[in-house]
Amino acid sequence: MIITILAVCTFAHYYKLEWLEIMGAIFLIGLSMHLGYQFDRTRHYELESEKQTARMSALVSSLNSGILALDENRTIIHVNKEFCRMFHLNENGEQLQGTNGHELFQKNAPLFTDPDLFLQTIRTLYTAHNTSLNQEVLLINGEIYEFDYLPIYVGQHDSGHLWHYRNVTEAKEKERLLIESNMILQNLSSMDGLTGIANRRSFDSRIADEWKRSLRQNGEPLSLIMLDIDHFKLYNDTYGHQEGDNCLKKIAAAIQACCIRPGDLAARYGGEEFSVILPATSAAGAISVAERIKTAIDRMQIPHANSLNSPHVTVSMGIGTVIPSEAGTVTTLIEHADQALYQAKSQGRNRMIFYQEISKSCTFKKDTAFRL
């Protein structure tokens, strides 16, 4: 700039120009240089903006999820290749630009299991200002699409709509298989592998839960039956362990069949010993269930040639009933039933004994909520 001014001054001196003319010349030269600079800078910004737009377009086009962008008039301003592929469109993104976005949705609707609901959702989102949405939709071919809808606002001005679609079919299938696997593992961890009924771990967990539930229900009675196959060692010695396993399976199935209510739990307590948890069941109700179990096993007539009680398999049972209290523990109920079972064995087996202390000290009222 300084060199330019010196050049102008030299030129003016040589041609004897007036001072005003010199200043005018300097102003015009400065103005032209300033305008040239501003033009270059504007053009630089335009080029950078074009590059940025091109980069964003390339990025969106390379995504493995479908992108659809509409302006405030629902006219398509951008749609990538994946969106066209997902919705089986014959046109490419450039051909769809400038067309009506809602007409495109109407064209896509038959791909979904509920086209009317799909279109109703679209219309609702158009009128629900500034409301985003994430939702899964099922296609008639069994695939699952997840879409995000995002309204675009500049201040308070509606500037357009953005739709983002992803095919989540494979991910959902993996999730389903994982849930099923976890359920299988959970069932296996709570199930006795031989008999197919609940195992000791499941028994411990359930009886603790039922004790707590009874406390919440203001003292509902909780009953427990402990059951032992008589002279089972002799059975194994006589018929072999394979037949012994078959005998355990048959006894378990008979006990399970006698547990009618969903809350009742038949479990293998250990070896040839079984247990039955009876929530909201009085002493009379528990005795009734025990009688039903004994009758079912007797009717099976499983041979036991070397039994000291009968030519068939028999069982001994101990029954306990308590009304849970904050001062007591579930161990008390287990001990009562176990002691009653010991009494049954001591008195010759093939019988059931109710824990006598409970029967003497507790009176149970008839109540339809309890098993009697």
Which residues are identified as catalytic?
Answer: 272
Torsion of CA 280, 284, 288, 291, to 10 degrees: 130
Q: Euclidean distance between the first and final Cα of the chain, in Å?
A: 110
| Contact by Cβ (8 Å): 256, 197 | yes
Helices first, then strands: H and E counts in the chain = 13, 10
240 SS3 class = coil
Which tokens is 266 given? Answer: 């038949």
Determine the Cα–Cα distance for residues 307 and 158; give it in Å rounded to an integer. Answer: 88
Helix (H) or strand (E) holding 332: helix 330-346
| Token pair 């739709």: residue | 163
Determine the Cα–Cα distance for residues 127 and 133; give it in Å rounded to an integer. Answer: 13
Determine whether 2 is exposed, middle or buried from the number of CB atoms within 10 Å of its CB (0-12, 13-18, 19+): exposed
What Rg, from alpha-carbon coordinates, does the chain have?
A: 42
Which amino acid, 94?
Answer: E
Dihedral over Cα of 116, 117, 121, 122: its sign: negative
Determine the Cα–Cα distance for residues 191 and 203; give it in Å rounded to an integer. Answer: 10
